[in-house]
Amino acid sequence: MKTILSICLSLLTMASIGAQTSESPVGAAQHIRLQTSETVLPPADLWTDVFTMDYSLSDVSGESHGQSLVNVGIYDGYCDLYKHIYSGTIYMQGLCPQLPEAWVKAAIANEILEYGVMPGSIEVYAQLKISLPQYLGHDEQQGDLYLTAFDPTTGESLSEVDMEYRPFYNTINNLSAPLCIGNSPTEKSSIMEYTSLSLQFDVKVIEDSPAGTEFVYSRSGGVVKEVEKLPGNEDNPYEITYATQTGTINIVFGADNKVYLQQPISEMTYYSGWVEGTLSEDGKTITVPTGQYLSYTRSFNMGVQMWMCRYDESLQSFVADRSIQEVTYTIDNGEIRLNGSSTTCGLGCVNRAFGLVYTYLNGEWLQTCDYESVYTPFDEEPLEAPDDLLTDTYHLTTCYFIAEWSPLDVDVEIGFNDDEVWLKGICQYLPDAWIKGWRDGDKLVFPSEQYLGSASGVPVYFKDVKLENGNTVVKDMELIFDGTDTYTTTDYIFIVTAKGTLEYLNYYMGATISKHTDELVEVPEGITTSFYTFSYETVLDEEGTRVEAHHRVHVGYDGNDVYIRGLWEGLPDAWVKGTLTADNLLVLSLPQYMGVYTDEYLGAYPIYLTAFDEQTGELLPELTFCYKRYGSNGGTVRFDQPSLPISIGICKTGYLGLQDFYEQVIANGEPTGIGNNYQYATTNTHSALYDLQGRRVVGGTSLVNSGPCQKGVRIMRMDDGAVRKVMVK
């Protein structure tokens, strides 16, 4: 989604940004003396905000100080931080109290006065040049009025007055000479004179809960979304879709008929701001001015503003309709309904950029709006456990998905009240929320769709989901007890925003809830190991192409226990353990914890040895190798496991494999194929190339210009026995 949260550009690496034109306005600032009969007319698409103006002035009544509000907008903004250049035009409305609708125009000078990086921001001072005189219009009492300035020493008319503009702090101040409002464009006939001016814009976002009585309502109605099309639609990569609103909205009814709505756009709940409205005297209508800010980010000097947004056929998208200055809601029998909306005109948000850096984003629709919204009282309450409930602390470990898979390890509480069982902490967003279930033999059963509470204005429910014949089926969650201190489920656990939907905040791939943490295999002190070769097939590409490969492992024996080190090259020092049985089998119990793998991009992940059924995808509780001794005096040892894949994964209750091994053989012999022709050398250079069928390619070992028979994807065997996939050119 195109929001200010997804803007990852560094201000210091931006070469140039233009808002309205494709050409960079790098020439000198233009100071054009306006025709004395022309009033300033701002562009129709100018975005403005209300600045507070502090002033000192003199008039016939003497000196005075005061404060007023003026509209300020920046147009044609441009910046080049490499060259220290700013330019653009600023329009100000409200400088003249006699003609409050009159506009004044000023140019941002190209050269930056000062530049320096300050903590958390960029400090820039640019000159703002007001060309003079400017005709303000005709007042019935005062006649024609002009904005002028005169040299304080000589009294001569000035062609311009400078002010200081700080675009990262939204301030305009420091007049270079007094500004006059009078009846002549050239003669000093001042009705009033500003001796100082200071304009400041502070973005108003209501972040704290307002005083009053707060109610929670369920949302319903329609949602318009702009989503990305499938690849291949580069000319128009987005399309408009429609959905149903879900979740809740908090509304506060305060004093003086004030009403406040939190997160008024259903798909924009990550902006937690409130908007303010007014309740009619009869209590039936709420009126909310548009243009209110839901969010402001200081580091980008950008905000998010609420408007009614209308579909533009030429753009095939929605744009803010700034002619709609307010929206109304009707209250009827406890329900609150949004008026004046449809599939082509809904309540949405746009980006607002202040200063000059991100002005190209000004007015950008944030790809969603609500229509025909209906809010009904929400009456669900989260469960509260009995006050006298005794609980034990367990560790919940799993992998959860939001935009990518991540490990999760949190503490949870389990308590029993006769056959009732209570579980607290299954939801990251609401760690104090409870779900309730019952005992069923060696299982704990928790019904799905229990309400957990509200997180940032969004209702949160727990839901257990199984995959059956490729379909998702909502079930009760069953935690299987292992007889000691651990409960496990391999179902998906969804944290959703509404009943009857899988619109999730996140979901887990199964879960293990245990009183103990994962422990590494304990290896007997002083165990003697020997080099073995682990041969296998592994997946080459996303199409599932398998190739033969192998690498060294260390194998040691302690009675009937077999210890293997280096099964996965990502953790070469990790051990796994199996047990030899009387019928010549090597049995590895699963899953086995192998340690933590740290990746520069992925971060730190726990790693487990698992195995799974290729048909059902279910994880298996153990893995069995056939154990053979043969050759002279039984000196050749071989463990074969041809039927089931081994998976090195980041989750012990679901399949999230980093690497899978098929057709595994662990042996100390010297077979003859790519998977088992091992001649170890002291230097790790490559000794042979093989094709994807494991056949040796004849014609030398060079990877470049080695003849047509070697070109393509090849398997390269190293002198130490390891294999690598390479592209021969």
Of 347, 327, 337, the C-alpha closest to 287 is 327
Model confidence band, residue 710 (pLDDT cutoffs 50, 70, 90): very low
Model confidence band, residue 675 (pLDDT cutoffs 50, 70, 90): very low
What is the biggest distance separating any 2 CA atoms in the chain, rounded to whole angstroms? Answer: 120
For residues 17, 22, 23 and 28, what is the CA-based torsion angle, rounded to 10 degrees? -60
* Together in a domain, 442 and 566: no
Say which amino acid occupies 421: V
Segment 635-645 mean pLDDT = 79
* Together in a domain, 63 and 181: yes
Segment 174-191 mean pLDDT = 92
* Together in a domain, 495 and 564: no
CB-facing half-sphere around the CA of 156: CA atoms within 13 A? 4
Given a cut of 50, is residue 436 above it in pLDDT?
yes
Say which amino acid occupies 517: T
Note whether residue 205 is domain-resident: no
Q: How many CB atoms lie within 10 A of CB 59?
A: 12
Q: What span, in angstroms and rounded, lies between the C-alpha atoms of 663 and 640?
A: 8
Domain boundary among 145, 167, 200: 200
Given a cut of 70, is residue 669 above it in pLDDT?
no
For tokens 């994880």, the residue is 619
| DSSP-based three-state secondary structure for 525 | coil
Least confident of 53-62, 93-102, 497-506, 694-703: 694-703
Each residue's pLDDT tens digit, 500-516: 878 788 999 999 999 98
Given a cut of 70, is residue 35 above it in pLDDT?
no
Give the range of the structural domain holding residue 282, as residue numbers without chain letter: 213-377
Backbone φ and ψ for 359, nearest 5 degrees, come out as -65, -20
- Kindly give the pairing relationship between strand 121-131 and strand 103-118: antiparallel
Percent of the chain with pLDDT over 70: 82
At residue 716, the pLDDT reads 55
* Together in a domain, 98 and 174: yes
Model confidence band, residue 360 (pLDDT cutoffs 50, 70, 90): confident
What residues contact residue 647 under an 8 Å CB cut-off, 6+ apart? Answer: 609, 610, 611, 612, 655, 657, 659, 660, 661
Domain boundary among 468, 489, 514: 514
At residue 189, the pLDDT reads 82
Each residue's pLDDT tens digit, 580-609: 999 999 999 999 999 999 877 667 889 999
Q: Is the Cβ–Cβ distance between 268 and 245 less than 8 Å?
A: no
Of 71, 121, 126, the C-alpha closest to 96 is 71
Q: How many CB atoms lie within 10 A of CB 714?
A: 20
For residue 396, what are its two tokens? Answer: 């919940």
Secondary structure of 232-297 in HEC code, one letter for each residue: CCCCCCEEEEEEECCCEEEEEECHHHEEEEECCCCCCCCCCCEEEEEECCCCCEEEEECCCEEEEE
* Together in a domain, 323 and 397: no
Model confidence band, residue 29 (pLDDT cutoffs 50, 70, 90): very low
Segment 610-635 mean pLDDT = 80
- Kindly give the pairing relationship between strand 48-59 and strand 17-18: unpaired
What is the average pLDDT score of the chain?
83
Note whether residue 4 is domain-resident: no
Given a cut of 60, is residue 56 above it in pLDDT?
yes
Give, in order, the Cα–Cα distances in Å from 500 to each of 429, 633, 667: 20, 67, 53
Model confidence band, residue 17 (pLDDT cutoffs 50, 70, 90): very low
For tokens 């007014």, the residue is 278
Note whether residue 83 is domain-resident: yes
* Together in a domain, 619 and 641: yes
Note whether residue 2 is domain-resident: no
Of 262, 258, 251, the C-alpha closest to 206 is 262
Each residue's pLDDT tens digit, 408-426: 999 999 999 988 999 999 9
Q: Is the Cβ–Cβ distance between 55 and 198 less than 8 Å?
A: yes
Note whether residue 7 is domain-resident: no
Of 306, 298, 293, the C-alpha closest to 355 is 298
What residues contact residue 583 under an 8 Å CB cut-off, 6+ apart? Answer: none
Model confidence band, residue 729 (pLDDT cutoffs 50, 70, 90): very low
On the question of a cis peptide bond just before residue 133, with omega within 30 degrees of 0, the verdict is yes
Note whether residue 454 is domain-resident: yes
Note whether residue 695 is domain-resident: yes
* Together in a domain, 500 and 626: no
Q: What span, in angstroms and rounded, lies between the C-alpha atoms of 302 and 575?
A: 53
Each residue's pLDDT tens digit, 84-142: 677 889 999 999 999 999 999 999 886 555 544 444 445 667 889 999 999 999 999 99
* Together in a domain, 134 and 238: no
At residue 64, the pLDDT reads 94
- Kindly give the pairing relationship between strand 391-401 and strand 504-514: antiparallel
Which of the two residues, 545 and 515, has the higher pLDDT score? Answer: 515
At residue 232, the pLDDT reads 57
From edge to edge, which strands make up the β-sheet containing 686-690?
686-690, 712-718, 723-728
* Together in a domain, 128 and 162: yes
Q: What span, in angstroms and rounded, lies between the C-alpha atoms of 146 and 96?
A: 9
Of 350, 337, 225, 343, the C-alpha closest to 295 is 350
For residue 634, what are its two tokens? Answer: 């039984």
Least confident of 26-40, 102-116, 313-327: 26-40
* Together in a domain, 553 and 510: no
What residues contact residue 427 under an 8 Å CB cut-off, 6+ apart? Answer: 433, 452, 460, 462, 495
Give, in order, the Cα–Cα distances in Å from 256 to each of 211, 212, 234, 280, 328: 11, 10, 52, 10, 18
Each residue's pLDDT tens digit, 65-79: 999 999 999 988 777
Segment 57-61 mean pLDDT = 90
Q: What span, in angstroms and rounded, lies between the C-alpha atoms of 307 and 345?
A: 10
For residue 425, what are its two tokens? Answer: 């902490």
Domain total for the chain?
Answer: 5
Domain boundary among 484, 514, 544: 514
For residue 367, what are its two tokens? Answer: 């790809």
Note whether residue 724 is domain-resident: yes
Of 361, 388, 405, 437, the C-alpha closest to 510 is 405
- The 8 Å CB, 24+ separation contacts for 537-545 are 537/661, 537/662, 537/663, 537/675, 538/659, 538/660, 538/661, 538/662, 539/660, 540/692, 540/713, 540/725, 545/692
Q: What span, in angstroms and rounded, lies between the C-alpha atoms of 559 and 437?
A: 45
DSSP assignment of 285-346 = EEEEESS-EEEEETTTTEEEEEEEEEEETTTTEEEE-TT--EEEEEEETTEEEE-S-BTTEE
At residue 703, the pLDDT reads 31
Percent of the chain with pLDDT over 90: 57
Q: What span, in angstroms and rounded, lies between the C-alpha atoms of 584 and 599?
A: 39
Segment 324-340 mean pLDDT = 97
Model confidence band, residue 562 (pLDDT cutoffs 50, 70, 90): very high
What residues contact residue 160 under an 8 Å CB cut-off, 6+ apart? Answer: 31, 129, 130, 131, 132, 149
Segment 347-369 mean pLDDT = 88
At residue 122, the pLDDT reads 52
* Together in a domain, 150 and 230: no
* Together in a domain, 75 and 174: yes
CA angle 646-650-655, nearest 5°? 55
Of 671, 660, 650, 571, the C-alpha closest to 623 is 660
Model confidence band, residue 24 (pLDDT cutoffs 50, 70, 90): very low
Give, in order, the Cα–Cα distances in Å from 440 to each of 107, 154, 445, 446: 77, 98, 7, 10
Q: What span, in angstroms and rounded, lies between the C-alpha atoms of 621 and 145?
A: 89
